[in-house]
Amino acid sequence: MATLNIRKLPEEVRTKLRLRAAKANRSMEAEARAILAEAVKREPAPAFDAKALQDFVASLFGGKPPKLTDELIAERRREAARERRR
What pLDDT score does 10 carry? Answer: 93
Same domain, 35 and 59: no
Whether residue 1 is contained in a domain is answered as no
The domain tally of the chain equals: 2
CA distance 5 to 16: 18
Residue-number span of the structural domain to which 62 is assigned: 50-85
Whether the pLDDT of residue 70 is over 90: the answer is no
Same domain, 32 and 58: no
Whether residue 3 is contained in a domain is answered as no
> By the 8 A CB rule, do 23 and 35 touch?
no
**How does pLDDT run across 51-69, given as a tens digit for each residue?**
888 888 888 877 776 667 7
**How does pLDDT run across 7-25, given as a tens digit for each residue?**
999 999 999 999 999 999 9
Same domain, 35 and 61: no
Whether residue 2 is contained in a domain is answered as no
What pLDDT score does 47 carry? Answer: 84
**Sign of torsion over alpha carbons 80, 84, 85, 86:** positive
CA distance 51 to 59: 12
